[in-house]
Amino acid sequence: MEFIIDIQERDGLRTMCFESKCVQGAMRIAQPWDLVLEYTQVMMAALLLREAKSQRRILLIGLGTGSLTKFLYRHCPQAHLTVVEISPRVVAAAREHFELPDDPTRLNIVVGDGVDFVQLAGTPYDLILVDGFNEFAHPGDLNTQPFYQNCRLRLSDQGLLVVNLIGLSHNYKGGYAYIESAFEGRAVRFPKCKSGNTIAIAATGDEVKLTLAELKERAKAFEARTGLDLQPMLDKLEVEPACSAGTLTI
């Protein structure tokens, strides 16, 4: 039986929900390119960690309303995007209701299983973002050790993996432990969002080592270019173990 896709609109905000009634994505109708949900904003912290010119091939696992895809499409003009979404109905909904761009030269939509996709040999990606859940808000095989190992194999030698994790309680690693293992400890968790989402970032290649002052300078330039303010996220990060001695190291 196919799951229900529920599109709702209230006070200028359009949302998509599945069976669980959890919001799968949202769009302000007057500002369709903006990131509404906090966790999607935190995922964009990855764009502060490497130079833009090194992030030319981006893979997204899970489409939802296309919020991340649209933001990257608009603000990373140097990048080619590949999006893997298992449900053709979700793709159709994103096109019809959430202004997903139709541009095959820069945006490749693949209807398929993200787990299977990352197992395939192919040109490596500089940035992989994982934000895929079924109708019960469960990531399934997207949150397993083999999947994260395959993600690492599909990254370039200066690549970054960004994952949306749900349901991590204090001092409980859950699927984050798989990411740590797959990347030999080169991973970091950002402070939990109000929604309960926790964003993890892992890296290959050269060490990512940035002081909070450097990150804040990059965040200012990023906001001037995109309109997205990442300063609140950095303020929370400042008191986390990931930023011991005022430096973020991955």
139-152 tens-digit pLDDT:
778 999 999 999 99
Instruction: Measure the CA–CA gap between 239 and 135, rounded to whole angstroms.
Output: 35
Residue 194 backbone zone (phi > 0: left; psi -120 to 50: alpha; other: beta): alpha
pLDDT score recorded for residue 109: 98
Is 131 among the residues known to form the active site?
A: yes
Q: Which residues are CB-contacts of 38 (< 8 A; sequence separation ≥ 6)?
A: 193, 194, 195, 197
Q: How many CA atoms lie within 13 A of 142 on its CB side?
A: 27
pLDDT above 70 covers what percent of the chain?
A: 94
pLDDT score recorded for residue 136: 57
pLDDT score recorded for residue 172: 59
SS3 content of the chain, % helix, strand, coil (to 5): 35, 25, 40
For residue 172, what are the CA distances in angstroms to 35, 45, 62, 141, 177?
A: 28, 22, 25, 19, 9
6, 11, 103, 131: the active-site residue: 131
Q: Which residues are CB-contacts of 240 (< 8 A; sequence separation ≥ 6)?
A: 190, 191
With beta carbons less than 8 A apart as the criterion, state whether 114 and 132 touch: yes
Torsional sign, CA 72, 73, 78, 84 = positive
Average pLDDT of the residues of the chain: 91
Q: Is the pLDDT of residue 169 over 60?
A: no
- Set out the domains of the chain in order of their start, with CATH numbers: 35-233 (3.40.50.150)
Q: Is the pLDDT of residue 20 over 80?
A: no
Report the b/e string of 176-198 with b at 16+ CB within 10 A.
Answer: bebbbebbeebbbbbebbeeebb
Q: Which residues are CB-contacts of 108 (< 8 A; sequence separation ≥ 6)?
A: 80, 81, 82, 83
Span 68-109, pLDDT tens digits: 999 999 999 999 999 999 999 999 999 999 999 999 999 999
With beta carbons less than 8 A apart as the criterion, state whether 135 and 129 touch: no
pLDDT score recorded for residue 95: 97
Of 51, 70, 49, 69, residue with least CA distance to 60? 69
pLDDT above 90 covers what percent of the chain?
A: 76
